[in-house]
Amino acid sequence: MNKYPISIEPFGEYAMLIKWPEEVKESILEDMLQFSSYLESNCLKKEKWELVPAYHTMAVIRRVPIEDSANLKRELLMWYEKATKAESPDRFLWKLPVCYDKEFAPDLPEVSEKLGMTPEELVSLHTSCTYTVYGLGFLPGFMYLGGLPESLQVPRREHPRMKVEAGSVGLAGQQTGVYPQESPGGWNIIGNCPIQSFNSENDPPSFISTGDKIRFYEISEGEYQLFKLESEVGIHKIEKIKLDADS
């Protein structure tokens, strides 16, 4: 496990925030995930603590207020030094279907024009990349995906929408992502994924985790309707591949 200079500070009454170098790097994400696995296995019981890694920070959240943050900081630093042989959690590559037809992709023509390519070229490039899940937020289950090529990077919409449909696939800056539920949003919508990736009644609610990878593949409107129905009744089989530790 690589070692990085980390800092730790109180994060409200219930949490501590561990900070790695402010870089978007898979090696930092891997270090965070390994440390998270070590803490869950050896130090912090799941019924009392929650760990939320994303990009280059990890929130360590206690179910009740933290009484001695200075002591917890010392313990976390000590545990980080000890976690030299921590095992990485299992990680998976998920293949998610997306329909890029115009009724699901209101921003596809404009974004394609801005980027100097045809909609078909944009879709081909978007589906040719493998993306890394660097975090889950701002909505429950919203995947922040890194690995978007520079040629697909476009600013957020100047005027956010009050309603973005669940499953919408968007572009914003250096990221792509999928809206797990209907919400306001300012990302450029280029398609829709019919698979429900978040369900609060499931344990865990999201079948995709930070550190996993995503590949999108194009489907027709007919396939979209079929997959959506299968997902709603819980019978759709999502293709996933277990990743090697070095992937």
Label residue 244 by pLDDT band (50, 70, 90).
Answer: confident
What's residue 24's pLDDT? 86
* pLDDT above 70: residue 46: yes
Asked whether the beta carbons of 60 and 97 are under 8 A apart, the reply is no
- When pLDDT is cut at 50, 70 and 90, the band that residue 85 belongs to is low
Average of per-residue pLDDT across 180-206:
88
- Read off the pLDDT of each residue in 205-233 and give the average, rounded to a whole number: 93
pLDDT of residue 200: 72
Residue 73 sits in the same domain as residue 96: no
pLDDT in tens, 3-23: 899 999 999 999 999 999 998
Inside any domain, residue 45: yes
pLDDT at 207 (0 to 100): 87
Residues 60, 33, single domain; the answer is: yes
Considering the domain architecture, whether residues 126 and 207 belong to the same structural domain is answered as: yes
- Stated pTM of the model: 0.87
* pLDDT one-digit tens code per residue, 93-102: 999 999 999 9
Structural domain including 67 reads 7-85
Please enumerate in sequence order all residues whose Cβ is within 8 A of that of 109, keeping only pairs 6 or more positions apart, or say none: 102, 119
Backbone angles phi, psi at 245, to 5 degrees: -60, -30
- Average pLDDT of the chain, as a whole number: 91
* DSSP-assigned letter for residue 154: B
Which of 85, 104, 127 marks a domain boundary?
85
Q: Are residues 24 and 113 in the same domain?
A: no
